């Protein structure tokens, strides 16, 4: 693999590990404080440090090493898991991100410490009253249970490592020399020998295959876990043997048997290597070779053919919790540009497929029509599969907020719990970044304005702990994201008064409940009496609405005094390709999203004059709009159709001239000159090569209801005026 690509992959994985590190500290429901969680956090920091060492990022390795030391004490129950420690670890994780960013910008910057790390290092040192790596005296450093082993012990006071790397070690992106560099940081290597596998014939030689192994003797006060953790990256495939000082001769024999089985050697050849390293005397080697002792294996055998030997006091394997360190590759990384090109190609394929279908129908060839139908079905499947590649769990956004809520709640001296639901719900990747800021503003407002203080909540017979709930789910072809709090709710009278005071609306204007709540999205609106670092400047909520509308979405607000508020963001499932329905108005071709359509009905005769602006659909009166009138087209006298559409809980009718049929629409964005155009969300190309506009159904429904409410209000005012001034 190209080193530059490997380096890029390292940074991507390191950022993900930092996110996982933060999640484990802030999500006690998924990661309850305990040995298993502490081990996961430790391995996360260890993985970052080990990977950084491969690329020579000394500043990152140095800082991560200190963090790792503190985590080592935490998981060995030498430190309590306090809020102060969590705050320090979160700040340290932030500094790891800064080091990653500077290292990614320049390879040279990875060698230089950042000044922000100096006070953090000082605070971390306070949690290390002694060198964390020192776990035990040399005679008990491995903490090996030898109660079942009656063999004599070796005389050496050195650690010995017998390493046989897997042939794919290079291909997996690992340099065996990087492990040696790391070992030099935790001990002093006294002796090292290369051990080579049998070389193949020159014509079959593969330079990417690893043939090497090591026999290493080292002096170190590090614990067994720390030394064995060095090889976490390669433990699944390589054979790693770790012999602590004064290991039993039975353990030596067990390791020698495994090493010789792998290389088809005799045990004396391996014993000769150990004698050369002075970790076995000749007399001890003879005893090992003859096996003149009990070889009962204890549960802490330092060898494992599949992995580095587990320490005897290691925590049990995780059950059901997500792993934070590298596992088997179940996925591949794809550049966003490549994915976008694929989606564009699929879009062109959809358009070409529609054109082929029209040609086949025009010719009337039954066999050709059947063949094209099969191809269209396959194209639809390819389209659906391609679109799923752009879908990511909304947890990619949600995971950013526990830290923010925790810090803001402490700043406001409020006790707040963030509850996350539906984190597995998938959204289009292109929406992720555009959703983050709107959600950030809404949640900060909920924490600051929505939730009361502990005293106010207790006085209102509420739990002392306030709750903010983040929820996501799919609904009728849309993604719905809800932000709900159990606070005091929105004071409508105060909102209305503030809007009038700031001149945002006139005093005599009559607003519905939803229209009143929507005033908070006006530029410059704020009900805060004081400006703080968190909110109150009247900047943000108008940006929220603008960002959501740029995604062809809408925001609904529901609030009850004393019970809390809910902000419901409804967004399209995808921004690329949709199932649509082709309609025509005059000579214009238009497309409606199929998942927002309920039914198509003939225009009832009693509504042909369009004076009532309502249609009676089986006893249910719905407002409707005429696209011909909306787009200022000539009046048409022939019968028309009404398409009943819905978005969320609202329904309305849209009057069109002709119903053509279903199609797949590749949505293309409109140019900047058309950004202010209402009722149109994009364009597409039909199978016959002609362009068509994609209708913005949510905006059309809102327009229909606003006009209906305005007409009702005008009618009510006219009746009231007539009562006050009756005609003689």
What is the domain-level CATH number for residue 96? Answer: 1.20.120.160
User: Do 532 and 585 belong to one domain?
Assistant: no
pLDDT (mean) for 542-571 = 85
Tally of structural domains, the chain: 5
By DSSP bridging, strand 554-560 and strand 641-647 are unpaired
CA of residue 640 relative to chain centroid, distance: 48
Domain-located, residue 552: yes
Angle at 223 between CA 222 and CA 226, to 5 degrees: 85
In a domain, 113, yes or no: yes
- Is 313 within a domain? no
Q: 263 with 200, same domain? A: yes
359 and 475 inside one domain: no
Domain that holds residue 349: 336-390
Q: CB–CB of 358/688 below 8 Å?
A: yes
What's the average model confidence in pLDDT over 541-554? 80
Per-residue model confidence (pLDDT) at position 725: 66
Give the range with max mean pLDDT: 54-58, 390-394, 504-508.
390-394
Whether residue 619 contacts residue 713, with contact meaning beta carbons closer than 8 Å, is answered with no
What CATH number does the domain containing 672 carry?
2.30.30.40
Last residue of a domain, one of 375, 390, 405: 390
CA distance 290 to 131: 41
How do residues 54-102 score in pLDDT, each as one tens digit?
777 888 888 888 898 888 888 888 888 888 888 889 889 888 888 888 8
SS3 sequence of 249-295:
HHHHHHHHHHHHHHHCCCHHHHHHHHHHCCCCCHHHHHHHHHCCCCC
**Which of residues 94, 126, 158 is at a domain's end?**
126
Average pLDDT rounded to a whole number, residues 319-331: 44
Same domain, 8 and 119: yes
Q: Is 49 exposed, middle or buried (0-12, 13-18, 19+ CB in 10 A)?
A: buried
Q: Is the pLDDT of residue 405 over 70?
A: yes
Q: Are residues 565 and 582 in the same domain?
A: no
Last residue of a domain, one of 390, 411, 427: 390
Instruction: Flag whether pLDDT at 528 surpasses 90.
Output: no
Query: Contact at 8 Å (CB) between 357 and 364?
Result: no
Identify the residue whose tokens are 């070889």. Answer: 295
The residues that bridge with 616 in the sheet, in sequence order, are 621
Nearest one of 55, 58, 45 to 8, comparing CA atoms: 55
Q: pLDDT band at 640, cuts 50/70/90?
A: confident
Domain membership flag for residue 722:
no
State residue 111's pLDDT score: 61
- Residue 485: pLDDT above 90? yes
Closest CA relative to residue 643, chosen from 634, 653, 651: 653
pLDDT score, position 294:
45
- Residue 469, pLDDT > 90, answer yes
Which tops the pLDDT comparison, 619 or 725?
A: 619
What does the block give as tokens for 255?
A: 């390791």
Phi, psi of 706 (to 5 degrees): -60, -45
Residues 534 and 412 both lie in one domain: yes
- Tell me whether residue 724 is in a domain: no
Is the same domain home to 42 and 96?
Answer: yes
Beta sheet of 658-666, edge-to-edge order: 658-666, 577-585, 588-593, 691-695, 680-685
Q: What CATH number corresponds to the domain at position 550? A: 3.30.565.10
- 447 has a pLDDT exceeding 50: yes
Same domain, residue pair 111 and 248: no
**Stretch (H or E) spanning 546:** helix 541-550
Residue 616, CA distances (Å) to 134, 580, 600, 605 in order = 82, 26, 14, 11
Q: Are residues 122 and 153 in the same domain?
A: no
Give the closest residue to 89 by CA, choosing from 109, 75, 107. 75
Same domain, 292 and 341: no
> Is residue 162 domain-resident?
yes
Instruction: Dump pLDDT digits (tens) for 646-684.
Output: 887 788 899 888 888 888 787 777 776 776 677 887 888
Q: Is the pLDDT of residue 42 over 90?
A: no
In contact, 663 and 686? CB cutoff 8 Å: yes
What would the mean pLDDT of 249-259 be, rounded to a whole number? 80
Distance CA 120, CA 113 (A): 12
Establish if 34 belongs to a structural domain: yes
pLDDT number for residue 643 = 92
User: Do 115 and 150 share a domain, yes or no?
Assistant: no
**121, 228: one domain:** no
Q: Does residue 637 lie within any of the structural domains?
A: yes
């Amino acid at each position: 693999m190209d080193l530059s690509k490997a380096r890029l992959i390292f940074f991507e994985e390191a950022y993900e590990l930092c996110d996982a590190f933060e999640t484990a500290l802030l999500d006690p429901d998924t990661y309850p404080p305990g040995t298993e969680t502490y081990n996961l956090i430790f391995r996360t920091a260890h993985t970052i440090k080990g990977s950084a060492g491969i690329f020579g990022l000394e500043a990152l390795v140095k800082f991560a090493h200190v963090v790792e030391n503190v985590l080592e004490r935490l998981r060995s129950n030498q430190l309590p898991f306090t809020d102060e420690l969590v705050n320090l670890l979160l700040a340290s994780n932030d500094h790891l991100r800064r080091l990653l960013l500077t290292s990614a910008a320049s390879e040279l910057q990875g060698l230089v410490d950042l000044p922000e790390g100096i006070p953090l290092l000082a605070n971390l040192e306070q949690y290390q009253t002694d060198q964390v790596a020192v776990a035990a005296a040399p005679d008990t450093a491995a903490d090996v249970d030898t109660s079942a082993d009656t063999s004599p012990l070796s005389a050496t006071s050195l650690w010995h490592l017998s390493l046989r790397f897997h042939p794919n070690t290079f291909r997996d992106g690992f340099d065996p020399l990087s492990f040696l560099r790391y070992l030099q940081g935790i001990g002093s290597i006294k002796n090292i020998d290369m051990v080579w596998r049998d070389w193949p014939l020159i014509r079959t030689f593969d330079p990417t295959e690893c043939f090497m192994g090591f026999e290493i003797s080292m002096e170190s006060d590090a614990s067994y876990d720390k030394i064995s953790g060095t090889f976490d990256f390669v433990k699944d495939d390589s054979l790693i043997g770790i012999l602590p000082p004064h290991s039993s001769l039975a353990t030596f024999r067990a390791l020698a048997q495994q090493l010789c089985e792998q290389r088809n050697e005799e045990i004396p050849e391996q014993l000769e290597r150990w004698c050369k390293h002075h970790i076995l005397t000749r007399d001890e080697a003879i005893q090992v070779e003859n096996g003149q002792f009990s070889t009962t294996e204890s549960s802490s055998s330092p060898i494992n053919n599949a992995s580095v030997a587990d320490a005897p006091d290691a925590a049990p394997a995780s059950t059901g919790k997500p792993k934070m360190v590298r596992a088997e590759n179940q996925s591949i990384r794809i550049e966003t540009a490549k994915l976008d090109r694929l989606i564009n190609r699929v879009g062109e394929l959809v358009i070409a497929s529609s054109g082929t279908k029209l040609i086949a129908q025009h010719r009337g060839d039954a066999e050709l029509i059947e063949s094209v139908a099969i191809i269209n079905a396959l194209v639809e499947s390819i389209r659906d599969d391609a679109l799923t590649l752009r879908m990511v769990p909304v947890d990619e956004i949600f995971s950013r907020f526990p830290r923010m809520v925790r810090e803001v709640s402490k700043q406001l001296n409020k006790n707040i719990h963030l509850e996350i639901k539906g984190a597995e719900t998938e959204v289009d990747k292109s929406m992720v970044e555009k959703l983050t800021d709107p959600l950030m503003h809404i949640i900060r407002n909920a924490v600051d304005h929505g939730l009361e203080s502990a005293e106010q909540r207790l006085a209102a017979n509420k739990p002392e702990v306030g709750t903010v709930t983040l929820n996501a789910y799919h609904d009728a072809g849309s993604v719905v994201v809800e932000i709900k709090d159990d606070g005091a709710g929105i004071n409508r009278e105060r909102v209305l008064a503030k809007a009038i005071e700031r001149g945002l609306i006139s005093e005599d204007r009559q607003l519905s409940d939803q229209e009143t709540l929507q005033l908070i999205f006006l530029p410059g609106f704020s009900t805060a009496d004081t400006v703080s670092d968190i909110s109150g400047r009247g900047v943000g909520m108008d940006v929220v609405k603008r960002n959501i509308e740029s995604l062809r979405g809408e925001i609904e607000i529901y609030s009850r005094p004393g019970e809390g508020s809910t902000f419901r963001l409804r967004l399209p499932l995808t921004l690329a390709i949709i199932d649509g329905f082709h309609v025509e108005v005059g000579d214009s071709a238009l497309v409606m999203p199929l998942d927002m359509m309920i039914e198509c009905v003939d225009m009832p005769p009693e509504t042909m004059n369009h004076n009532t602006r309502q249609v009676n659909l089986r006893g249910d009166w719905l407002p409707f709009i005429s696209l011909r009138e909306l787009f200022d087209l000539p009046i048409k006298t022939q019968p028309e159709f009404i398409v009943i559409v819905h978005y969320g809980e609202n329904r309305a009718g849209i009057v069109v001239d002709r119903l053509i049929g279903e199609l797949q629409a590749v949505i293309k964005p409109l140019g900047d000159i058309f950004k202010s155009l209402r009722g149109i969300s994009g364009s597409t190309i039909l199978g016959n090569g002609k362009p068509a506009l994609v209708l913005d159904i949510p905006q059309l429904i809102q327009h229909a209801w606003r006009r209906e409410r305005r007409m009702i209000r005008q009618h009510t005012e006219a009746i009231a005026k007539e009562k006050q001034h009756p005609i003689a």
